[in-house]
């Protein structure tokens, strides 16, 4: 009996000592990301390759659907076991976490030759810099274009629009060919689709230099969102509607359905993200080309700007393994992984230098990658850039504008009213 008791004590002691020793051998990096098509496949491949480089690190991959992720990450970051590295949108979402001290300053990490700070360009790194400190690793960028059906345009001898008026004329011409064809379906049931239009119309009409103080709520109370050009930009949405560009009920139409309308050649144009090219290719439709939101005559927008949302990974302030986590993220942006990311996900990686080495990338993807590299000033989308309540005012305003329940002036009054409240709260 005594022997048995001693054996038990010794076994328990051995377990107590041995278990932490085993755990200490391998650092576990918890990695949270969005459930996007191809991501799980890419991550599995990246983890396998990383195991060979750093067998001392175990990466635990978890992905979430978009809406669930937005809630889960906020809860987790306040909990005791947050993910070490997590996906985030660059803009107000990432800046807020920096302000609230929930993410780590990684300026001192990743500076070795294969570290992310040596791999990525200064322009890309700057997207996640606040007060001169590095608060994450940018992974990819998404842009936005008008896609057009090349066969349809060739068959009907339509000109690719090079101005906003030209775009309106294209819609009229397409309606003249067949009244039942929707030239450019708009799926605004989730509200963000029109916000992408407004983001770029604001840029083309108001210009980012004039708009940025309003967006950042830094303009004086007397001038905040009072620039009449905001109203002009919203009027352009109504011009598109009046030219017959959209279908009757854009606020009750899903974005997915409009993509299908383009991919099945029911509609000859669509304003869609850079990720849409991969979706159209995946659905077997390849006869398309793209162009940027054209310039608006008399507008104050700068040349060469376009819609660009940078997305990347931030490191939790509570991470026990910052060095290991940065090593994993540096691996994700390494040349070989960047190529695989582009091939698997169809998205433009933050390290595009080696993309030419791939023979799996489509022509449309190569065009997008080149176009993104030529953007002079990236224009971040309003719902990422604006303070949350102001963003909501813009999102709802867009819906009401399309429904005809508010005029552009009334929408801007609401936006200004909300912005003043938000500014007063921030000033407090």
Note whether 191 binds another protein by CB under 8 A: yes
The residue from 6, 11, 254, 357 that contacts another protein (CB under 8 A) is: 254
Whose Cβ is closer to another protein: residue 138's or residue 185's?
185
DSSP for 267-323 reads SSEEEEETTHHHHHHHTT---EEEEPPPBPTT--PPTT-EEEEEEEEEEBTT-S-HH
The vertex-295 CA angle with 294 and 297, nearest 5°, equals 135
Which one of the spans 9-17, 66-74, 172-180, 373-381 is the region binding another protein (CB under 8 A)? 66-74
Note whether 102 binds another protein by CB under 8 A: yes
Note whether 62 binds another protein by CB under 8 A: no
Distance between CA atoms of residues 63 and 86, nearest Å: 10
The residues, any chain, with a CB within 8 Å of residue 13's CB and separated by 6 or more, are: none
Note whether 241 binds another protein by CB under 8 A: no
CA 240 to chain centre: 25
Note whether 261 binds another protein by CB under 8 A: yes
Note whether 389 binds another protein by CB under 8 A: yes
DSSP code at position 135: -
Note whether 388 binds another protein by CB under 8 A: yes
Whose Cβ is closer to another protein: residue 70's or residue 320's?
70
Distance between CA atoms of residues 156 and 179, nearest Å: 14
Whose Cβ is closer to another protein: residue 250's or residue 346's?
250
Residue 344 Cβ vs another protein, minimum distance, rounded to whole Å: 29
Note whether 417 binds another protein by CB under 8 A: no
Instruction: Return the percent helix, strand and coil in the chain, to nearest 5.
Output: 50, 15, 30
Whose Cβ is closer to another protein: residue 93's or residue 214's?
93
**Length of the chain (residues):** 428
Note whether 284 binds another protein by CB under 8 A: no
Distance between CA atoms of residues 189 and 193, nearest Å: 8
Restricted to residues 106-125, the positions that interact with another protein (CB under 8 A) are none
The residue from 300, 323, 400, 413 that contacts another protein (CB under 8 A) is: 400
Whose Cβ is closer to another protein: residue 68's or residue 216's?
68
Restricted to residues 296-355, the positions that interact with another protein (CB under 8 A) are none
Residue 132 CB neighbours (<10 A): 8
The vertex-209 CA angle with 207 and 212, nearest 5°, equals 100
Distance between CA atoms of residues 60 and 227, nearest Å: 49
Note whether 75 binds another protein by CB under 8 A: yes
| Residue of 253, 103, 128 whose CA lies nearest to 189 | 253
Sign of CA dihedral 217, 219, 224, 227: negative
The residue from 70, 133, 156, 320 that contacts another protein (CB under 8 A) is: 70
Note whether 175 binds another protein by CB under 8 A: no
Which one of the spans 41-49, 56-64, 100-108, 281-289 is the region binding another protein (CB under 8 A)? 100-108
Which one of the spans 198-206, 208-216, 254-262, 350-358 is the region binding another protein (CB under 8 A)? 254-262
Whose Cβ is closer to another protein: residue 212's or residue 389's?
389
> Which tokens hold the place of 326?
């940065």
The residue from 97, 167, 277, 412 that contacts another protein (CB under 8 A) is: 97
Note whether 245 binds another protein by CB under 8 A: no
Q: How far apart are the first and last CA of the chain?
A: 71
> CB of 133 within 8 A of CB of 105?
yes
Q: How many residues bind another protein (CB under 8 A)?
A: 34
Interface ranges with another protein (CB under 8 A)? 70-71, 74-75, 77-78, 96-97, 100-102, 185, 189-191, 247-254, 257, 261, 388-389, 392, 396-397, 399-400, 403, 405
């Amino acid at each position: 009996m005594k022997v048995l008791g001693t054996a038990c004590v010794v076994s328990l002691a051995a377990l107590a000592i041995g278990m932490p020793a085993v755990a200490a051998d391998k650092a576990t990096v918890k990695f949270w990301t969005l459930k996007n098509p191809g991501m799980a496949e890419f991550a599995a491949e990246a983890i396998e390759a990383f195991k060979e480089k750093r067998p001392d690190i175990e990466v635990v991959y978890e992905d979430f659907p978009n809406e669930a992720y937005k809630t889960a990450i906020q809860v987790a970051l306040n909990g005791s076991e947050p993910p070490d590295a997590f996906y985030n949108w660059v803009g107000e979402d990432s800046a807020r976490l920096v302000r609230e001290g929930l993410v780590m300053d990684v300026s001192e990490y990743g500076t070795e030759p294969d570290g992310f700070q040596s791999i990525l360009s200064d322009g890309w790194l700057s997207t996640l810099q606040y007060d001169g400190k590095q608060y994450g690793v940018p992974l990819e960028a998404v842009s936005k274009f008008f896609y057009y059906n090349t066969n349809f345009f060739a068959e009907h001898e339509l000109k690719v629009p090079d101005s906003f008026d030209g775009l309106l004329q294209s819609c009229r011409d397409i309606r003249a060919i067949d009244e039942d064809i929707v030239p450019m379906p708009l799926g605004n049931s989730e509200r963000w689709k029109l916000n992408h239009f407004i983001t770029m119309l604001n840029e083309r009409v108001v210009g980012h230099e004039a708009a940025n103080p309003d967006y950042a709520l830094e303009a004086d109370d007397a001038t905040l969102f009072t620039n009449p050009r905001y109203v002009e930009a919203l009027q352009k949405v109504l011009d598109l509607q009046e030219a017959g560009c959209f279908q009757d009920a854009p606020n009750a139409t899903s974005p997915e359905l409009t993509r299908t309308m383009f991919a099945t050649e029911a509609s000859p144009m669509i304003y869609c993200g850079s990720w849409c090219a991969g979706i159209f290719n995946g659905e077997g439709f390849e006869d398309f080309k793209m162009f940027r939101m054209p310039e608006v005559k008399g507008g104050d927008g700068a040349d060469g700007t376009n819609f660009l949302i940078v997305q990347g990974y931030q490191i939790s302030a509570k991470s026990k393994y910052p060095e290991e986590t940065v090593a994993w993220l540096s691996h994700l942006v390494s040349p070989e992984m960047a190529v695989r990311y582009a091939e698997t996900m169809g998205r433009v990686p933050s390290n595009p230098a080696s993309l030419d080495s791939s023979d799996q990338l489509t022509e449309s993807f190569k065009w997008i990658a080149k176009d993104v590299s030529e953007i002079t000033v990236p224009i971040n989308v309003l719902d990422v850039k604006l303070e949350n309540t102001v963003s909501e005012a813009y999102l709802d305003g867009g819906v009401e504008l399309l429904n005809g329940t508010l005029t552009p002036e009334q929408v801007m009054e609401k936006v200004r009213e909300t912005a003043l409240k938000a500014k007063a709260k921030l000033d407090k």
